[in-house]
Amino acid sequence: MTAENKTIIVTGGAGYIGSHACKLLANVGYLPVVYDNLSRGHDWAVKWGPLEKGDILDPDRLGEVIKKYQPDAIMHFAAFAYVGESVNNPILYYQNNVVGTYTLLRVMLEHGIEKFIFSSTCAVYGEPDTLPLTESHKKQPVNPYGNTKAIIETMLEDLAAGGQLKFISLRYFNAAGADLDGEIGDSHDPETHLIPLILNAADGKIPEIEIYGNDYETPDGTCIRDYIHVNDLADAHLRALQYLQEGNPSGFYNLGSETGYSVQEIINAAKLVTGKPIKTCISPRRPGDPPALVANASKAKQELGFNPQNSDLDTILTSAWNWHNDNR
């Protein structure tokens, strides 16, 4: 790293995954400049560099911040990411995710910034034809959220083909867990994610956890997902940045632990980690939920050196439980 390439603009750096990436970037000597409108992020999560408040839909403010810091790359976490909300309010998702990212790309290219690390999702695959999922699986999103991310990926491919941009698109599976030092963690309102809701049920904040469907074609009938620790995602962002800085080509990468756990298995494991009883009830399937999603992350392992260290279920649940208890 040289003095010229150590500043990174991190959109959405006040959010869950973005803040963990900022901590890691700062730990290895980068300056993460957070660009966030704080609509869903938190100023308390910005601890490792300046916070520049701004919206990705605001080209003037983006231009001002890019001009001020002259970053070597942009890591783009800022997005809306609730599947259910995207179904009910697609225009919000096309506006914020697609138009917002388009605006960011336009302004960064105008300022000669060429490296872009993008937060994508396994939702671009929709209902998988085969498991585990590789990057060559066809893209067929089943909800507006997945569509917005797939559209952005197409934009990135076109810009890279035109020689204007180098990008790495990281397709996260289920982000989970919290900072092992307890400095940051997830904080969503409303909370819709399985693990934080299970922990809410464990400490009595909610009476029970609803299992969305127990009649899937899986061994215990509940949905299987691939949970990846947020620190391992952060690590992959650092590797992606360095990969582009070394002059390597653009690409798409799955980020998962390559192990699937069912909803019921997560609940059982959470009972052990928390030492609490957790009441459950069976609810209808949630629309748009595929029965199973599991990553093949070989490409990220081979090309980026991705090597998840914290994604065993015990570390995921223990770090999430510690964060939950410290921040009740």
Give the closest residue to 8 by CA, choosing from 61, 74, 63, 64: 74
Residues in CB range of 39: below 8 A, 6 or more apart = none
Any contact of residue 192 with ligand UDP (CB under 6 A)? yes
Of the two residues 83 and 168, which places its CB atom closer to ligand UDP in the complex?
83
Any contact of residue 193 with ligand UDP (CB under 6 A)? yes
Of the two residues 15 and 49, which places its CB atom closer to ligand UDP in the complex?
15
Give the closest residue to 73 by CA, choosing from 21, 116, 11: 116
Any contact of residue 289 with ligand UDP (CB under 6 A)? yes
Any contact of residue 205 with ligand UDP (CB under 6 A)? no
DSSP letter (8 states) at residue 302 = I
Of the two residues 66 and 81, which places its CB atom closer to ligand UDP in the complex?
81
- By rule CB under 6 A, what count of residues binds ligand UDP? 15
Residue 36 tokens read as: 């966030």
Of the two residues 104 and 122, which places its CB atom closer to ligand UDP in the complex?
122
Any contact of residue 174 with ligand UDP (CB under 6 A)? yes
**Interface of this chain with ligand UDP, residues 219 to 278, rule: CB under 6 A:** 223, 225, 263
| Euclidean distance between CA atoms 298 and 258, whole angstroms | 9
Give the closest residue to 232 by CA, choosing from 134, 305, 124, 321: 305
215, exposed or middle or buried, with CB in 10 Å at 0-12, 13-18, 19+? exposed
Choosing from 212, 258, 259, 312, the residue that interacts with ligand UDP (CB under 6 A) is 212
Q: Which stretches of the chain bind ligand UDP, using CB under 6 A?
A: 83, 174, 192-194, 197, 209-212, 223, 225, 263, 286, 289
